[in-house]
Structure 1
Amino acid sequence: MKKVTMFVWNHFTNDARVNRECTTLSDSGYHVDLIAINDPKNPMIESFEQITDRFKVHRVKRYPWILQAYQDHGKKFLLIVAGVQIAIIPGLFYLSFTIMAAYLMALLLGASLIKVRKLRKWFVNGAIITRMIAKGYIQNADIYHANDLNTLPQAIICSKLRFKPKPLIYDSHEVQSDRTGYNKEKIKLIESFMIKFVDQMIVENHTRAKYNEKIYGFYPKTLYNYSEKFDINTKPKINLHELAGIPKDEKILLYQGGLQEGRGLELLIKAMDDIKQGHLLFIGAGKLTEPLKKMAAESNEYHRIHFLDKVPFQELPSYTREAYVGFQVLQNICFNHYSASSNKLFEYMMAHVPVISCDFPEIKKVVCDTETGLVVDSHNCSEIAQAVNKIVENETLRETFSENTKRAKEIYNWNNEKAKLLDIYNLHAPLSSADFQIKQI
């Protein structure tokens, strides 16, 4: 059986795209080992998880033991360390001043790694990368797969630093060289060097593939971020109104996903001043969680704005189906946002929920071609509010959009897209007849 080792820089609890890819490969006869990161703050997440007979998840530790001890015990840990040093340092001085000085320098470095945030981050990330490499190398897979740039170094070392190098796939979920929070020129330089070791690159859509061709000189494969196809009526029902504290006769205006910069979330809160019906609900978490909650509390419509923490992707459809309308109002603050064809757009579609979306090329094309919602200038609060009012005040229009999603999801679903992933794998690590026999059994 052909073995695949895949890397992802998260806990693998909400990564629907990676789950789809791993499941598709394992269902098709490949043995998949996914290497992710453990979350010491969440005891429900296990370091090893066997999803199926051919799909396993290995989560490496996030913190080196010294940082983990500091995270767990804080000042108590520091007091214990200080007490031990009082006993050790005089003895080292007695042996040699040089040894004592070297020991004190090591202690100073250790303290810096704990207290200086930037050094601590480098130390932690370095430890994660090292553990990922160690775990991935011993897998000795037939093919290696890096999800995004932050796992590409690990995959390069595991696949190429061998007597017999292995094929390497680079699956870039984002436009690494033009996204928020990153130094564009620095990232472009790093990525352009590392892709020389890659056998096949994958990007999310053709807009991004054309951009890649422009800056790197080649056109990568595309793999759209479509949702799994399912019948929403088979998903368990929940009382989302009760969970979120929303009156049962009120319409839910839903944003689901990361609460991050550039997703138009502040504008949704501002737009509530002009939205005549419905309650705004955020489902997700991220860096903007507390700022958004503060902003909501200061809004005149604070009683119509609600928050729920993120939920596992397996359970999310049960929440999505309860919405009256869904939002995908990315801001044009970088090419990564402008070129997106985000998963949540297709999650809304699969749950028969009309969408109010930004007018960026990939998203606009889907919404307009399928007539499953309204396209707005996502930087304009008034346009967002007008679009919401148009849908919530016109039940017939809302039902038309909802009915259209039932046809659209027959086109925009993972069942129609996953053959492209299998074609890539079968090109670089084709399954044998024995593998197919195992799959059939």
Structure 2
Amino acid sequence: MKVLVSVFNNLYTDQRVEKVCRTLSEAGYDIELIGNNWGGLPEMQRPYPFSRISLKSKSLKLAYPEFNWKLYQELLKKADKNTILLSNDLDTLLANYLVSKKLRIPLVFDSHEIFTEMPAINGRFTQKIWRILEKFIVPKLKFVMTASESYADWFAKTYGIERPTVVQNFPVKIENPQNYSEINLKKIILYQGVINPSRGLDKMIPAMEEIENAEFWICGDGPKKEEYLALTKTFGLQEKVNFLGKLLPEKLREITKKADVGLSIEENNGLSYFYSMPNKVSDYIQSRVPVVVSNFPEMGKVINRFQVGEKINSHNELAEKVNIVLERGKIFYEDALNKAATELCWEKEEPKILALFRKVTQKHF
């Protein structure tokens, strides 16, 4: 059975798509992955075929329609009657939906977030356009999976569809990589991810004034980087705040395990963030690093269940909560992190994907 997987990015750092493709490939599906050159064309290797559509557009508002038109043509060329389409997020859904209807082949929609509720488009005209598209297609879909329990509830309630399959974006399970005899001379506070609005970074940078003997490492890149560099200089915190840039996944894992605390301190500026279970939370946990997170439904449940760190109800609490975790130290959380790492791993999610694709196959083939 062929599965054509499409996503709007250059594929290299999209760990969710990589894991889904690998799971399906190892289960015997014939995988082909299609992305684009937005953000460059880094060299990469995968155990299945992949391609990246070349985009000429320089702005996202033009790149999205260009990609969907070219993706539609590409899917029509590559799909046949024994094909399942796997569309990742709303920005690939139109092309997949049209090809699914034209060829009468099944479509699986994997919504990594609530695209129409992302802070980056909240209140903008583009949000209305995406909502129209979402409202037009999603109620017609039979096979949907998404990345958090709260997302699944939202889609089921908003569009009256069968509750989506929840496949959380957890990392592959690893043995505890920590050497607790190695102690950082200066404690390391880590943020990994895109430097976007509403990630809480502009609150954490000034909070470093209240945290002694520590450095704040920011791993990632994004539209707010220059602004936050300037903010760091304004507070005179260049010695305490380090921007490490966008790192390859293997390099990032090496950095993560060195941290004393990991942050996921999003602001509630849209349901997509509020209902999220960010990848970085489980990445920290898998590296046995305690966390400080926003007290949102999914992240709050992790703290309540496993006691692997602290929750903040307000960004005014950042320094206080980070200091609590730093003072306790990583070894204090060792047993809790080991227990959480055993549960919050990709091996627990794979059976859900395979069950969904068996259901698709049984209904259509």
Aligned length: 353
CA distance in 1: counterparts of 2:346 and 2:362, whole angstroms? 21
- Match of 1:258, as an amino acid? V
* 1:51 alignment counterpart: 46
Q: Match of 1:172?
A: 111
TM-score relative to the length of structure 1 = 0.75
1:185 Cα offset (Å): 4.5
Shift of 1:345: 0.4
Q: For structure 2, list consecutive stretches of 5 or more residues without a partner in the other structure.
A: none
In structure 2, C-alpha distance between the alignment counterparts of 1:380 and 1:122, rounded to whole Å? 32
Q: Quick one: percent identity of the two aligned structures? A: 25
1:355 has 2:283 as partner: no
Asked whether 1:222 is paired with 2:166, we answer yes
Tell me which amino acid in the other structure corresponds to 1:136. L
The correspondence of residues 271-286 of structure 1 with structure 2, limited to 5 A, is 271-286=207-222
- Structure of larger gyration radius: 1
CA distance in 1 between counterparts of 2:13 and 2:176 reads: 19
Distance 2:69 2:150 in 1: 34
Q: Which amino acid counterpart does residue 270 of structure 2 have in structure 1?
A: C
Work out the CA distance in 2 between the residues paired with 1:354 and 1:124: 39
1:388 aligns with 2:327: no
Residue of structure 1 equivalent to 2:235? 299
Q: Give the secondary structure class of the aligned counterpart of 2:239.
A: helix
Residue correspondence of structure 1 range 18-417 to structure 2 within 5 A: 18-39=17-38, 42=40, 45-46=42-43, 51-52=46-47, 55-63=48-56, 123-140=62-79, 142-162=83-103, 165-182=104-121, 183=124, 184-218=127-161, 219-231=163-175, 233=177, 249-377=185-313, 379-381=314-316, 383-395=317-329, 398-417=330-349
1:352 aligned counterpart, secondary structure: coil
Q: Give 1:149 shift.
A: 0.4
Q: Which residue of 2 aligns with 1:425?
A: 357
Partner of 1:17: 16
CA RMSD of aligned residues (A): 2.3
Q: Distance in 1 between matches of 2:22 and 2:258?
A: 27
Distance between the aligned counterparts of 2:62 and 2:269, measured in 1?
A: 31
| 1:196 Cα deviation after fit | 4.4
In structure 2, C-alpha distance between the alignment counterparts of 1:122 and 1:158, rounded to whole Å:
22
Q: CA deviation at 1:198?
A: 2.5
Give the TM-score normalised by structure 2. Answer: 0.90
Amino acid at match of 1:166: I
> Residue 156 of structure 1 contacts residue 197 of structure 1 at CA under 8 Å; is this kept in 2?
no
2:200–2:315: 8 Å Cα contact kept in structure 1? no
Distance 1:428 1:373, change over 3 A: same
**How many angstroms apart in 1 are the aligned matches of 2:65 and 2:146?**
26
